[in-house]
Amino acid sequence: MAFGSRAFSREFFDMYHAAVFEALGENAAKYNARIGAILANAWYKRVESSADPAGSKKAKESYTGGPFSFSDIVRFEFTDEGTVYLYAKNCVSCIDSEQLLMKEVFMSHDFSKEFFAAYHAAVIEALGDDAARYNAKIGIILANAWQKKLSELPADPAEFKKAIEAYMSGPFRFSDIAKFEFNNDGTACLYVKGCDICNGNELLRSSGKKGSCPISQMVKSAMGKALKTGVELTGSEKPGPVGECYLKYKISM
């Protein structure tokens, strides 16, 4: 799978990760275990499993320090007492929103887009038949997070376009390009290229599973609240390589 040269937005991952677990609510622990198991299976498919603890330690550290990089430091230790420790420093899923906004803690190297693709795919696979329902919740939570960052909601389509594009090219950057357009026939469209979420969905499709896009639901919720109107997600088109997509909407003005 090809990944672009653009640096991955750690702020985007923080908001995505937080939205997922807020949406899961009291079921978070159950789904977290499923996500972990799916990520472990993905690792098993990439490296040979070893019965030797030293070999397993080496394989684990090489994965978490390479394509699955989610922190600056990862150390795995087996002890003589039969216990095991995984030490991580500046783990991206541990950094909270306040720290990110204050720019107090950051990984010193580029975030792994391959990790995010695997993480997103694991989340959606773990949700199973509940994926569509939770995907909508995640989108609403992400829209609410965007709304809280605004001094006031956009009052018209032109202001909405400006505000959402600025957000998606700034702290919430998940793609190389994110352009929003309103049409005269009451429809609207978000065009994205180089989307990081699409790479995760491609992993799902390659194994015969269905992907889900929380961005599609986020835009639907954000647009409805800002313009105080009904919004319908009418579909999507993927004309080019993985990561290029048109999300289409119909607005009840």
Domain assignment present for residue 5? The answer is no
What is the predicted pLDDT for the residue at 42? 81
Domain assignment present for residue 154? The answer is yes
User: Which residues make beta-bridge pairs with 180?
Assistant: 190
Q: Is the pTM of this model over 0.85?
A: no
Domain assignment present for residue 134? The answer is yes
> Which residue, among 225, 244, 42, 16, has the nearest Cα to 134 in the 3D structure?
16
Looking at beta carbons, which pairs linking 133-139 to residues 24 or more positions away fall under 8 Å?
134/20, 134/23, 134/24, 135/212, 135/213, 135/214, 135/217, 136/217, 137/23, 138/16, 138/19, 138/20, 138/23, 138/214, 138/217, 138/218, 139/214, 139/215, 139/216, 139/217, 139/218, 139/219, 139/220, 139/221
Q: How far is CA 145 from CA 12, 23, 38, 218, in A?
A: 11, 13, 28, 10
What is the predicted pLDDT for the residue at 4? 59
Contact 194, 4 (CB under 8 A): yes
Which domain, by its residues, includes 59? 10-252
Q: How far apart are CA 77 and CA 212, in angstroms?
A: 36
Name the 3-class secondary structure at 122. helix
What is the predicted pLDDT for the residue at 88? 75
Domain assignment present for residue 4? The answer is no
CATH of the domain at 208: 3.30.1380.20
Domain assignment present for residue 162? The answer is yes
Amino acid identity for residue 133 in this structure? R
What is the predicted pLDDT for the residue at 3? 62
Q: Are strands 177-182 and 187-193 parallel, antiparallel or unpaired?
A: antiparallel
Q: How far apart are CA 211 and CA 199, in angstroms?
A: 10
Domain assignment present for residue 3? The answer is no
User: Which residues make beta-bridge pairs with 233?
Assistant: 249
Number of domains the chain is built from: 1
What is the predicted pLDDT for the residue at 5? 60
Q: How far apart are CA 51 and CA 219, in angstroms?
A: 48
Per-residue pLDDT of the chain (253 residues; tens, 9 = 90+): 556 567 777 788 889 999 999 999 999 999 999 999 998 888 777 665 444 555 555 555 454 445 666 767 777 788 888 898 778 776 766 655 444 444 444 444 455 788 899 999 999 999 999 999 999 999 999 999 999 999 999 989 999 999 999 999 998 999 999 999 999 999 999 999 999 999 999 999 999 999 999 999 999 999 999 999 999 999 999 988 999 999 999 998 6
> Which residue, among 145, 173, 179, has the nearest Cα to 160 in the 3D structure?
179
Domain assignment present for residue 106? The answer is yes
Domain assignment present for residue 110? The answer is yes
Cα Rg of the chain (Å, integer): 19
